[in-house]
Structure 1
């Protein structure tokens, strides 16, 4: 088999020499036979003639040899391709419509696959990423661990899963693993995120950069060598402050240093601390946290106390702060279950060795995950939307295929006589099948090329739609050979898919009947059944897409019209991050007080409010809430949300105070701690009781003294982190009474436009510290729009898909009805000659198109009822089977499809009986 395959390939690659060899072989045989005949007494001319006669028709023998070598198949395919090109050139309108519809379908699928590849398939750019193991813990409200900084997700049973551990636990686990090796070694990292940027200064140019803290063995365990300079080493991570060095990303190297090799040894100021650049990461390396985007700088953990000192102690020494992630490389022959079993025991030992564990506490479970995609935050955030979009774009491509199959069926019927002649002249049915499929594959290939181009040009469309005006979405759409292979595969698949029905119809042609052009009405009806079935399929798919568009559009409308509990208009937001090296706690509180007072003096500013977690920004803080006049609840601790705000917060956001008062000038750092609770918290904790004046205890950091707050007011409910759902139980504390806040969002109430007032605001901040930039400038309305970017994306895309589905359904119903009218011209002429009225003919054709529409809509409705339940969690304010969406969608599709069938019906009603009978 292999030798035969090699022979085929060799013949195809060296066709010229193979043809010459065949000719030479036949010429040699003829000459040898002629010489034999001459020795028998024949003349040279007669011997040559006799030799040629004995060999027979040389070209027939050559064709047999070519066929055995695969050359004949190549000739036939080449002829089929040339003929297909001629046929498509003869119908430029059909060709353009076909290529355009395929390009839209294939291009949309290419765009979605590009994102899916980056989110679901891409691995970290390190050697053997499948060997990496990521640690996670699963905890409930009985856990002795309460202070986490990092990602967390809810499990189906209501517990939380996180990839964060404390630095002391990491050190203990690493020593235990080295003593009894289960993994090769453990290494740690912490992506600081967009909200914890470093202020950066290079050669007098200031800005901000993102960072990732890593352990000294980070690069060695990942197996990554810098493209320039050296990596971070264990000696850089020996002791706090021992490694003022950084390895920068390839992107930062290009942006700030123009890829100059002299960057090694340069100094960059991070949070006003001089850091020496010792290396540059290779292109494509994104660290260990994400496969999407790379942090700008990588620093050893030893620099955390210097660059970002904590409020009370170094995070490297705080056992209560679980904030860093751990990975390790698998050892040969050690299963994940063995790793889990060993580290589960060590985790419990290390927790008990580092924190106080109450008697009724439940220990967290240890989980081992694949680390090949890092923390896979993008997978958690975007996997479900990507799956839904993949299904929707698949439906669009199926619609395009169904539409083309219908058009090709009509063309195939028109070419029925041509196919019959081919069959009568000896062409095999497989040869006809291949010819028709060649035309389909040529169309799909051209559509695939156009779709690939559209996919490349539109690869950043979805990241752009998900990005806010001040911050890009953490998605990277990279094209590679897998994208090309995917596009080629679906192009071939679609070509086969929409070409099968026409090819099958062409091979079923009855030669005698077709040549006589005397097919019976029953035969014609049978041939029209395939087209009608495809139209019903189109309408059903269109129904699915229109219903999906309606559900997501209504979700977006519901989100935009939901009650916020505050006034979002005329609010300008920006962030200020105080460098902890210049403004350690509590000096940062004093800084923000000065900035707040200075901004309030700017002309045009009506109010200034400070807030730790800006509203509707998907950021939230929570803690325990224990009323001092109530017994501590058994079971789970009572948790609620908390936000640290300025004293004008409620006035700026126009949140009413229902009872008591809001924060005032008498609430200072030296006065008793006060809080305002919202209505939901008041109803759940103090039903039928006035909570004003009551006190509660909260313990934000384990081991700290109990913090007692007095409730001074009850505010109306307001949305906190997201629009979906009811406002959570929340209490508000005053930032002037906080221990220290490095990252604060300022909210400015003003009637002026951002462009008009921003210069004055910048000048006011610079008058206090010229090194404090205003970051992430946006309005509250833009903040809200960003919070529903996914819903807006779905509403936009599904609306486009729905419109495209309606257009394709109209083309399908129009095409099949026009074809049926043309095919039944004689029948309609006879009906009219026998007395049928114009209206009767009109209704006869409309009844046929309406029946197709009704049947397709019914199937689509049934499918929609079954499939929309899978997007239940993505909807808001309506059920997946919402009748307000389903009924209008069905009526719209029926109206559009029936209207599309009116044109052919009207044409049928105007047929002249005499011309129709003459045609017969």
Structure 2
């Protein structure tokens, strides 16, 4: 009851100062909301357990190939991974996972769905829950798996309308018939190891390239999920799997592809694999939000101390009536707690919106975003922060209140209250605010520098009015000769359209997520390295305006005859031969087949394309059209489909890309980072300037009588302004110096822990700090200017 009385008393007292309450609650709510959202983000990604049984037993098998001192990870050699799965079945529960996409012909809309080709163990290892049905049937080996399918809950609802009799029904996916055996629970969270989108359909691995010989091909779309049961040592198991890889590359039919190479097995906890390097990003977000809160807290502290000065008379009465310092602290704490809890309530509402915003606009940039949302740890964190802030405010208030002087207040008529907040405290507030803001602005400027450098990086090719269309012709065109004829007919048909300026055949779009890669060898069959490639015809270079540096383009005859000629990018030529003019030099494939270099072109930039590139002549294993449209022309997906159906009604569109939009989409996360970094810097700057303005305004109000005397005696306005700015300059410069020192120390620590950290731009950092200095001085100038522009008599009368 006594606590309730204290709370009601504090609330009643605060009602007398509505602007003070609004300003404090609003300031804290904004920054607390950001901190709560950042905490929830970190908690989900860094600490929340995965929603699977025996999570600590789940690992991902990743290959590491070693050759001549070079270590490469991330790409899985397909045949080696399949051999490992087959050989280790007796002692290691594992499942192959291959990411793909395909068209669901069973639906009238023929949607393109995300697929995951897996072995039956996938559902057992993750203890996958089912709405209806079950997982795949067990099979003696991978190749004998029956044609079954498991669909996601959303796929069941959207394309099969939630039919209860779906189990046992046949569906056509990727030109094959599969029997539906299961529907996943709505709340099942697939481990997203390849793509931010969950799979729509699960198909046995037997019906993929995993069931055929792939030579030395490697892909980033393949992983193996492993369960290491208690009693087995992870390191020993890794060594055992490495020995399986070793036997395969030394004694298998493809041993010549792995000459002078080692293939090691690396077992990574599933949790760590999903997390990746996102921990660094989320901790930086949390640190930024925490610094924002500190800046806001300095503002609030100054505001609160000013509020206490208005309550000197009340506190003096309490002291004279025998209230001890502990009781005064308690009263201040209860009042502060009412304020911070009110702020926290609004902050939680703001955090809820921020988490929804993050899920929507940061989709694909961080893992497990779909799991964001207020939970018990987040609420507890919010309450703890509210209690801590209340205690700090009460402590600051108690520290700045002179208990002995309070008893003299009743006789002083309020005079001398300015002494309650000492100049030292005001200077500390300015120093801390400037230092924290400077640190945050420097860090944000580095993020902004990296994000803008990537987002605004020139492509190196012209994709204006260029669209890419991948045609699915597998139903009636199975041989390469049939596809060649079809590709020629499609090209002829589209070149006659009035909207089309130029058309080319390619294997894939030059701008997209994911590219084909292959290994390149020298004449002694020694592997040089892995490189990305495309198959193009003679029009490709002209359409995208890829500059030719040496040699020539493909001729039409070379494309038609599939001659063994290639065009290298500048970076690939430099990597292999150490120079760029390498026309008439040769490179080799895994079988020893030679390809003559006829030209060298410039590099082009794509976020998803970070390796050297080269080009073969086009073959119609895949039919992809690159269409250059005339100005002010358009060609929609429906328009293209109608044209294709006039050639053959069975033709479908596998992929439709507007390359300008695709290029923007690929750098979206960097643009988002730039906006967030810029917004964070601006918000911090506003908070800092507001706080400095508040401190200087309070200081000048306390010196208003003194300034009135000086003006009455003839002091120039400029001299008075210079006097105030000079007093404020020292703490501001000290704060800037501390922020620069902290930035250097923290960057050194981060650089030793995080590889590839961007080198800060001295000019940009200097400009950021100068900007902070200018705005800080402006915040100092405004309050004193208001006083010196007024009538000195009003200052002397304290009007």
> What TM-score, normalized to structure 1?
0.77
CA RMSD of aligned residues (A): 3.8
**Aligned residue in 1 for 2:34:** 108
Q: 669, 676, 697: which one pairs with 1:797?
A: 676
Q: 45, 58, 72: which one pairs with 1:160?
A: 72
Per the TM alignment, residue 315 of structure 1 is displaced from its structure 2 partner at its CA by 3.0
Aligned 8 A contact 2:93 2:228 in 1: no
CA offset digits 1:426-453 (Å, max 9, x no partner): 3232232232223333323222222222
1:392 equivalenced with 2:300 (yes/no): no
Aligned 8 A contact 1:416 1:509 in 2: no
**Aligned residue in 2 for 1:429:** 325
Distance 1:439 1:432 in 2: 11
Q: 449, 456, 466: which one pairs with 2:352?
A: 456
1:501 equivalenced with 2:384 (yes/no): no
Distance 2:370 2:712 in 1: 67
**Aligned residue in 2 for 1:734:** 617
What are the residue-to-residue correspondences of 1:307-318 with 2, within 5 Å? Answer: 310=209, 315=211
Distance 2:230 2:602 in 1: 59
**Aligned residue in 2 for 1:145:** none
Report the secondary structure of 1:676's partner residue. Answer: strand
Q: Structure 2 vs 1, CA of residues 581 and 322 (structure 1 numbering), >3 Å: closer, same or farther?
A: farther
**Aligned residue in 1 for 2:230:** 332
Per the TM alignment, residue 463 of structure 1 is displaced from its structure 2 partner at its CA by 4.7
**Aligned residue in 2 for 1:606:** 501
Per the TM alignment, residue 776 of structure 1 is displaced from its structure 2 partner at its CA by 5.5
Aligned 8 A contact 2:340 2:389 in 1: yes
What are the residue-to-residue correspondences of 1:250-329 with 2, within 5 Å? Answer: 250-290=153-193, 293-304=197-208, 310=209, 315=211, 320=216, 324-329=222-227
Distance 1:388 1:823 in 2: 40
CA offset digits 1:817-850 (Å, max 9, x no partner): 1111222334434445555443332222222233
CA offset digits 1:492-530 (Å, max 9, x no partner): 444444554234334756333444449998982863422
Structure having the higher Rg: 1
What are the residue-to-residue correspondences of 1:474-623 with 2, within 5 Å? Answer: 475-481=369-375, 482-506=377-401, 510-517=405-412, 524=419, 527-559=422-454, 562-579=457-474, 583=478, 587-588=482-483, 590-617=485-512, 619-623=514-518
Q: Structure 2 vs 1, CA of residues 133 and 879 (structure 1 numbering), >3 Å: closer, same or farther?
A: closer
Aligned 8 A contact 2:102 2:112 in 1: yes
Per the TM alignment, residue 807 of structure 1 is displaced from its structure 2 partner at its CA by 1.2
Distance 2:627 2:425 in 1: 65
**Aligned residue in 2 for 1:656:** 547
Q: 400, 403, 409: which one pairs with 2:305?
A: 409
Q: 27, 37, 62: which one pairs with 1:136?
A: 62
**Aligned residue in 2 for 1:46:** none
Per the TM alignment, residue 793 of structure 1 is displaced from its structure 2 partner at its CA by 1.6
Distance 2:537 2:494 in 1: 13
Distance 1:392 1:409 in 2: 26
Q: Structure 2 vs 1, CA of residues 275 and 490 (structure 1 numbering), >3 Å: closer, same or farther?
A: farther
CA offset digits 1:71-117 (Å, max 9, x no partner): xxxx2321232233223333332323323322322332344344444
Q: Structure 2 vs 1, CA of residues 209 and 787 (structure 1 numbering), >3 Å: closer, same or farther?
A: closer
**Aligned residue in 2 for 1:247:** 150
Q: Structure 2 vs 1, CA of residues 124 and 439 (structure 1 numbering), >3 Å: closer, same or farther?
A: same
Aligned 8 A contact 1:165 1:326 in 2: no
Per the TM alignment, residue 632 of structure 1 is displaced from its structure 2 partner at its CA by 7.6
Q: Structure 2 vs 1, CA of residues 664 and 517 (structure 1 numbering), >3 Å: closer, same or farther?
A: farther
Distance 1:509 1:617 in 2: 73
Q: Structure 2 vs 1, CA of residues 447 and 133 (structure 1 numbering), >3 Å: closer, same or farther?
A: same
Q: Structure 2 vs 1, CA of residues 563 and 246 (structure 1 numbering), >3 Å: closer, same or farther?
A: closer
Aligned 8 A contact 1:419 1:506 in 2: no
Report the secondary structure of 1:274's partner residue. Answer: strand
Distance 1:104 1:512 in 2: 38
1:692 equivalenced with 2:583 (yes/no): yes
Aligned 8 A contact 1:315 1:321 in 2: no
Aligned 8 A contact 1:673 1:709 in 2: yes
Q: Structure 2 vs 1, CA of residues 343 and 567 (structure 1 numbering), >3 Å: closer, same or farther?
A: closer
Gapped regions of structure 2 (runs ≥ 5): none
**Aligned residue in 2 for 1:189:** 96
Per the TM alignment, residue 588 of structure 1 is displaced from its structure 2 partner at its CA by 4.5
Gapped regions of structure 1 (runs ≥ 5): 1-74, 143-156, 305-309, 700-704
Q: Structure 2 vs 1, CA of residues 565 and 474 (structure 1 numbering), >3 Å: closer, same or farther?
A: farther
Distance 2:39 2:237 in 1: 34
Q: Structure 2 vs 1, CA of residues 861 and 597 (structure 1 numbering), >3 Å: closer, same or farther?
A: farther
**Aligned residue in 2 for 1:38:** none
How many residue pairs are counted as aligned between the two chains? 794
CA offset digits 1:395-454 (Å, max 9, x no partner): 222222222122112212222332232222232322322322233333232222222222
Per the TM alignment, residue 639 of structure 1 is displaced from its structure 2 partner at its CA by 4.6
Aligned 8 A contact 1:621 1:642 in 2: yes
Aligned 8 A contact 2:133 2:183 in 1: yes
Distance 2:761 2:96 in 1: 46
Per the TM alignment, residue 393 of structure 1 is displaced from its structure 2 partner at its CA by 2.1
Moved more, 294-303 or 501-510: 501-510
Distance 1:843 1:662 in 2: 70
Per the TM alignment, residue 800 of structure 1 is displaced from its structure 2 partner at its CA by 0.8
Q: Structure 2 vs 1, CA of residues 240 and 709 (structure 1 numbering), >3 Å: closer, same or farther?
A: same
Aligned 8 A contact 2:711 2:792 in 1: yes
> What TM-score, normalized to structure 2?
0.88
Q: 836, 840, 847: which one pairs with 2:719?
A: 840
What are the residue-to-residue correspondences of 1:745-760 with 2, within 5 Å? Answer: 746-752=625-631, 757-760=636-639
Distance 1:450 1:228 in 2: 42
